[in-house]
Structures are given as C-alpha cells and as structure tokens.
Amino acid sequence: MKRTVCVAAILLWAITVAVGGWFFVKGWTAKGHDGRTEILLSSKERDDILAEMRLLLKAVDGIVRGLGESTPDWKAVEAAARAVGMNMAADVEPTIMAKLPLPFKQLGMSIHKDMDALADAVVRGETPQQILQRLSSMTARCTACHEMYRLSAGQ
C-alpha cells in the first residue's frame, strides 16, 4: 500500500511539474485574429505591462534627447537607461510572469539587461554612435515583440 501511495505521489508531482513547465513556456495565450499571439491578461495586468512599456519608451526618449545635445548630457543618458534596467524588472508580479510566454519574457528581460549595459557603456565613455547602436539593437527587439504579441485584457 505504501509503495502505491509513493508511486502515485511521484506521478502526481511529475504531472504538476510538467504542467507548470508547459505554462511557464507557453503562458496564457491564444491565436490572435491578426496573426499575432494574444497574451490573455486581466485589465490590471495589461495596464501594468503597458505602463512598463511606456517607461521604457520614455527612457529611449531620454537617451535620444541626451545624445542629441551639441554636448551630450551623459548624466541624463545614464540615468534614463539605469531607471529601466534590471532593478525595474525585479518588481514584476509572479502572476503576470506566469501568464507571459517564455519568448516574451526573454525579450523583456534582455531589454532590461541591455539598458543596464548601456548605462555602464556611458560610464565607460562610449561614443554617441556606439550608444545609438546599442539602442538600435534594443528597439529592433521591441518592434519584433510588438509584431509577434498582442496584450488582450478581459480575463
């Protein structure tokens, strides 16, 4: 009897891990009417993600404005990038992260990491051209993500 209970417990654990892993990779998604993957969220979760995206866009604006000065405002560029680095990503709610598909999570985390790397590059004295190349790589990933995914509220 003990053996049967142990086997059942192990099987139940394995199924739980497999289902959890599947949701971690796939997230809560559906095929969208426009060909993109819809990420199914509550209205608040959608608002939270969009607010984070707006902060990222404001940071990009701050970086471009700082670099656009005749004498670049390096402190402003560094501050704009650092504000949306990995420290910002640490506050994401676990329930939201569970609903996001793995590639979406990877793209988002890579942007936060690269913003910290951009701020470090400013401190190291990289040229405006080098900083813009870094930023261009990030905005290309933002565009790719927006082409692949759509946030759908109402859950």
Report if residue 5 sits inside a domain.
Answer: no
The amino acid occupying position 32 is G
Report if residue 12 sits inside a domain.
Answer: no
pLDDT score, position 143: 97
Report if residue 16 sits inside a domain.
Answer: no
Q: Provide the whole-model pTM.
A: 0.82
For the chain, how far is it from start to end, CA to CA, in angstroms? 43
Report if residue 128 sits inside a domain.
Answer: yes
Residue 144: how many other CB atoms lie within 10 Å: 12
- Grouped pLDDT means (10 residues each) for the chain, 155 residues: 72 56 68 95 95 97 95 96 93 87 95 98 97 97 96 81
pLDDT score, position 24: 54
Report if residue 90 sits inside a domain.
Answer: yes
Residue 119 in contact with residue 82, Cβ under 8 Å? yes
pLDDT score, position 94: 86
For residue 34, the enclosing domain spans 28-152
Measured between alpha carbons, how far is residue 151 from residues 38, 50, 99 in Å? 6, 9, 11
pLDDT score, position 154: 74
Report if residue 79 sits inside a domain.
Answer: yes
- How many separate domains does the chain show? 1
Report if residue 2 sits inside a domain.
Answer: no
Q: What CATH number has the domain bearing residue 126?
A: 1.20.120.10
Residue 92: how many other CB atoms lie within 10 Å: 17
pLDDT score, position 92: 77
Report if residue 102 sits inside a domain.
Answer: yes
